[in-house]
């Protein structure tokens, strides 16, 4: 992606006053709730560091087994502390018609999702504590590559772990997808549809896997006439752009870059508890991981925004349809009650995608330099297709780095 000087745009030229007010209040509420949830998370883990070792007296599972039990207990306590904030967030999304999942079903699904996290925690502690007991203070040198391998394995197999998938049935979109894939150098990539309409009205898409497992997944909430065929073409091209630019492999590389210093920090943080070979060090490790994740969050968001901007540029270059790209970004914003121009603190802390205004500005920049005379005029026209009146509800591309 070339270095661009994006024009400064006035959100009022693209969105109604109601859409701007709704987006600001909706996202501010969720952002503040998210910050409070992180504060509670750290507070709970601090208490667990002080009191968690006391549970060791109840275990006869040996050092590694006890460490795994402490890890799972810590995860369960954190889940209970975070659950009220998750329910409040669900209530807020339900009240804005973004989600229509029931509270009981949400809590059950949320609890069942702990199973996978328990398995991951157990595997991570088994590797960490086993290496720490074997090679002592230098365990982190051997553990970091193991974690990178697990992360890469998950990225490779992730397309097979996503439920409710079926082939893309629309013949016109199938033809569009095949053409776009050839243009972006990822011919043969499968495009599937995930049924999510029973839980949410949010439109979304993601690219997953790499090599022979790579796949683009469209949520069914994007289809059925909610978005025009040219707009869905831009979505598909965006996701192919992630695959063409090897963003998932780059994400693994970034994880590897983080894994070594993070493992070293864990080794240093747990020395006062005897090191990671000792079960009493596990609560300290959980706290250290939480603090590390908070510390790198703004930097990780910046990395993700760069990849998303690159995928946007690939979509513009492939579809050569700035008008569809602009209306897509407008619709994604209004259907999700998103703030197209959020305050700086929220942008740095929460935004893993460019803002709607940044994406629309890129459309204008591309249209001025690459489009035909007609597309240049359409791409830079301001306020002509204001989407504040669009009644569909949804969310823009949030989530995984490859979404």
In a domain, 343, yes or no: yes
Residue 137 has pLDDT above 60, yes or no: yes
In a domain, 279, yes or no: yes
Query: Which one has a higher pLDDT value, 59 or 223?
Result: 223
Task: For residue 248, give every residue at least 6 positions away whose Cβ sits within 8 Å of its Cβ, in sequence order, or none.
Answer: 155, 207, 208, 209, 210, 214, 242, 401, 402
Q: How many residues does the chain have?
A: 403
Q: pLDDT value at position 80?
A: 94
Mean pLDDT in residue range 358-367: 94
Instruction: Record the pTM.
Output: 0.87
Q: pLDDT value at position 2?
A: 65
Concatenated DSSP letters of 52-108:
GGGGGGG--SHHHHHHHHHHHHHHHHHHHHHHHHHHHHHHHHHHTTSB---HHHHHH
In a domain, 37, yes or no: yes
In a domain, 138, yes or no: yes
> C-alpha distances in angstroms, 15 versus 285, 331, 354?
46, 10, 17
Query: Domain range spanning residue 347?
Result: 15-164+242-380
In a domain, 264, yes or no: yes
Q: pLDDT value at position 267?
A: 94
In a domain, 276, yes or no: yes
In a domain, 188, yes or no: no
Q: pLDDT value at position 394?
A: 33
**Residue carrying the six token digits 């870059």:** 257
Specify whether the CB–CB gap between 89 and 33 falls below 8 A.
yes
CB atoms within 10 A of CB 162: 13
Per-chain mean pLDDT for the chain: 88
**What pLDDT, in 10s, does the model give residues 1-27?**
666 678 889 999 999 999 999 999 999
Percent of the chain with pLDDT over 90: 73
Q: pLDDT value at position 3?
A: 66
Domains in the chain: how many in total? 1
**What pLDDT, in 10s, does the model give residues 45-103?**
999 999 887 777 666 678 888 998 999 999 999 999 999 999 999 999 999 988 989 99
CB atoms within 10 A of CB 209: 21
In a domain, 327, yes or no: yes
Residue 397 has pLDDT above 80, yes or no: no
pLDDT interval class at 380 (50, 70, 90): very low
In 3D space, the residue among 109, 14, 53 whose CA is nearest the CA of residue 382 turns out to be: 14
Distance between first and last Cα of the chain: 18
């Amino acid at each position: 992606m070339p270095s661009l000087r994006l024009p400064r745009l006035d959100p009022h030229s693209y969105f109604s006053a109601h859409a701007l007010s709704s987006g600001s209040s909706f996202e501010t509420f969720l952002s503040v709730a998210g910050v409070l949830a992180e504060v509670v998370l750290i507070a709970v883990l601090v208490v667990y560091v002080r009191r968690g070792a006391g549970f060791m007296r109840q275990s006869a599972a040996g050092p590694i087994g006890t460490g795994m039990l402490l890890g799972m207990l810590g995860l369960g306590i954190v889940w209970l502390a975070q659950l009220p904030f998750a329910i409040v967030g669900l209530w807020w999304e339900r009240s804005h018609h973004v989600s229509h999942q029931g509270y009981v079903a949400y809590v059950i699904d949320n609890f069942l999702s702990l199973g996978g996290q328990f398995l991951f925690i157990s595997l991570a502690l088994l590797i960490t504590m086993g290496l720490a007991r074997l090679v002592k203070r230098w365990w982190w040198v051997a553990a970091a590559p193991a974690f990178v391998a697990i992360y890469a394995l998950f990225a490779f197999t992730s397309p097979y772990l996503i439920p409710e998938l079926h082939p893309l049935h629309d013949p016109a979109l199938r033809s569009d997808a095949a053409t776009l894939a050839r243009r972006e150098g990822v011919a043969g990539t499968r495009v599937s549809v995930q049924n999510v309409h029973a839980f949410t009205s949010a439109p979304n898409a993601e690219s997953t896997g790499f090599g022979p497992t790579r796949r683009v997944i469209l949520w069914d909430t994007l289809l059925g006439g909610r978005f025009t065929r040219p707009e869905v073409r831009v979505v598909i091209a965006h996701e192919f752009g992630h695959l063409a630019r090897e963003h998932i492999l780059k994400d693994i590389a970034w994880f590897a870059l983080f894994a070594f210093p993070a493992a070293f920090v864990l080794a240093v943080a747990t020395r006062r508890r005897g090191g990671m070979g000792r079960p009493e060090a596990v609560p300290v490790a959980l706290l250290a991981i939480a603090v590390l994740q908070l510390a790198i969050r703004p930097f990780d968001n910046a990395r993700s925004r760069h990849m998303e901007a690159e995928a946007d540029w690939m979509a513009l270059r492939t579809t050569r349809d700035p008008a569809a790209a602009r209306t897509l970004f407008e619709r994604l914003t209004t259907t999700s009650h998103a703030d197209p121009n959020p305050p700086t603190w929220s942008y740095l802390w929460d935004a893993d995608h460019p803002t709607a205004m940044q994406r629309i500005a890129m459309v204008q920049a591309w249209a001025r330099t690459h489009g035909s005379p007609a597309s240049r005029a359409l791409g830079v026209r301001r306020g002509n297709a204001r989407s504040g009146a669009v009644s569909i509800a949804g969310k823009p591309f949030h989530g995984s780095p490859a979404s």
